[in-house]
């Protein structure tokens, strides 16, 4: 049930963010993290119970790592959709900003797994 509400919240916030002329990575990162968590939860809900030989804690860590892996990809997708809807001849975000997100993908994967492990232990 939480997955449906999470998706609705992420979708609503994304629709609010799209028309705004924002070039900071803060809100983009938060929206991308929200979509990454939603997609990882969706995948874990459909595939996670079929994984045999792994404890529930490891499945949570893998789902968190997947959410971290999806963060930069979701950010790129959000940037492309926003640029397409605005109709500019240029991107709202610089290539340096997009590279900054992509280069840190291993960090996002590790942080996603760590956060999922901590939440699972709590």
pLDDT reported for residue 9: 92
Contact 46, 110 (CB under 8 A): no
- DSSP string over 23-70: --HHHHHHHHHHHHHHHHHHHHHHHGGG--S--HHHHHHHHHHHHHHH
- What is the residue-level pLDDT of the chain in tens, covering all 122 positions? 788 898 899 999 989 888 887 788 888 888 888 888 888 888 777 776 666 777 777 877 888 888 888 888 888 888 888 887 777 677 778 888 888 888 988 988 888 888 887 877 76
pTM score, two decimals? Answer: 0.76
**Domain parsing of the chain, residue ranges:** 2-17+25-121
For residue 36, which of 118, 120, 113 has the smallest C-alpha distance? 113
Contact 84, 19 (CB under 8 A): no
In angstroms, the CA 84 to CA 101 distance is 20
In angstroms, the CA 12 to CA 16 distance is 6
Q: How many CB atoms lie under 10 A from the CB of residue 1?
A: 5
For residue 25, which of 115, 94, 105 has the smallest C-alpha distance? 94
pLDDT reported for residue 90: 73
């Amino acid at each position: 049930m939480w997955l449906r509400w999470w998706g609705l919240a992420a979708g609503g916030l994304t629709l609010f963010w799209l028309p705004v002329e924002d070039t900071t990575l803060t809100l983009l990162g938060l929206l991308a993290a929200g979509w990454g968590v939603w997609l990882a939860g969706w995948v874990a809900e459909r595939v996670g119970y079929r994984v045999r030989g792994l404890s529930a804690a490891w499945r949570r860590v893998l789902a968190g790592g997947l959410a971290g892996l999806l963060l930069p990809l979701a950010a790129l997708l959000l940037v492309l959709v926003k640029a397409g809807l605005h109709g500019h001849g240029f991107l709202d975000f610089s290539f340096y900003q997009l590279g900054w997100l992509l280069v840190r993908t291993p960090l996002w994967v590790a942080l996603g797994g760590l956060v999922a492990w901590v939440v699972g232990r709590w």
